[in-house]
Amino acid sequence: NSFREKRDPETLAKIIPITEGIGKNADVFVKLFSRLDPLAAGKRSRRRSLPLRRTIEEIFEVFSEEMKKIGITTKVNGPGDFRFTCWHQDVYAIFTNLIDNSIYWMNEKKSPKKEITVDIATDGNELLYIDYQDTGPGIESQLITSEVIFEPQFSTKPDGTGLGLAIAGEASTRNGLALKAFESESGAFFRLQPKSEN
């Protein structure tokens, strides 16, 4: 009301940062809810057969602008005709969280080489494993062995929610997969593997 009456620059200067903040927060909430959406059981569709390599490539495309800005290159290796029966929301949940972490840490630590590689290994119609690796700072060995990185609310990001890898782990389990982290000298290294193969 005071701005309508006076229209003074001082009041306007106070309003602008507030409205900008609302916009930024809205973006954060959209991102958060889009990640949580795969957990909404009521919305869950049926499992379906997905072209796995193409699906993962499509998920990378969602981040293409962000990755281009900081010079991240990506590569998905594996048979183009291999199909995997799963809930597509869960595949998106797994890889969006892994990719988001890679982007953050490679940018934060200014990694000289910025690459994300996904290798899909199959045997006929069977999935053997999916390896996800980046060239970022990697994960401390004690965090890997304790598996605390998959616990809800655990995060090494200053403003992290601690939901990302917990969601990715749950999404993997729902599809008969185990998501594990391994030590690597070149960066973060995760493997998705059918539970029966562990």
Is it the case that residue 29 has pLDDT exceeding 80? no
Are residues 37 and 63 both part of a single domain?
no
For Cα atoms 28, 33, 34, give the angle at the middle one, nearest 5 degrees: 100
Are residues 36 and 93 both part of a single domain?
no
DSSP assignment of 98-162:
HHHHHHHHHHHTT-SS-EEEEEEEEETTEEEEEEEEESSS---HHHHHHTGGGSTT--SSTT--S
Are residues 25 and 106 both part of a single domain?
no
Interacting residues of 80 by C-beta distance below 8 A, sequence separation 6+: 51, 53, 54
Are residues 39 and 104 both part of a single domain?
no
Are residues 151 and 75 both part of a single domain?
yes
What is the rounded distance in angstroms from the CA atom of residue 77 to the CA atom of residue 116?
11
Are residues 92 and 128 both part of a single domain?
yes
Are residues 70 and 144 both part of a single domain?
yes
CATH no. for residue 101?
Answer: 3.30.565.10
> 47: burial class by Cβ within 10 Å (0-12, 13-18, 19+)?
middle
Are residues 96 and 129 both part of a single domain?
yes
Are residues 76 and 148 both part of a single domain?
yes
Are residues 64 and 20 both part of a single domain?
no
Amino acid at 85: T
Kindly report, residue by residue over 137-183, the tens digit of the pLDDT: 999 999 999 999 888 877 777 776 667 899 999 999 999 999 999 99
Are residues 5 and 98 both part of a single domain?
no
What is the rounded distance in angstroms from the CA atom of residue 134 to the CA atom of residue 188?
5
Range(s) of the domain holding residue 118: 47-197
C-beta of residue 27 within 8 angstroms of C-beta of residue 159: no
Cα dihedral across residues 121, 130, 142, 145: positive or negative: negative
Kindly report, residue by residue over 72-125, the tens digit of the pLDDT: 999 999 999 999 999 999 999 999 999 999 999 999 999 999 999 999 999 999
Number of domains in the chain: 2
Are residues 11 and 61 both part of a single domain?
no
Indicate the pTM of the whole model.
0.77
What is the rounded distance in angstroms from the CA atom of residue 95 to the CA atom of residue 89?
10
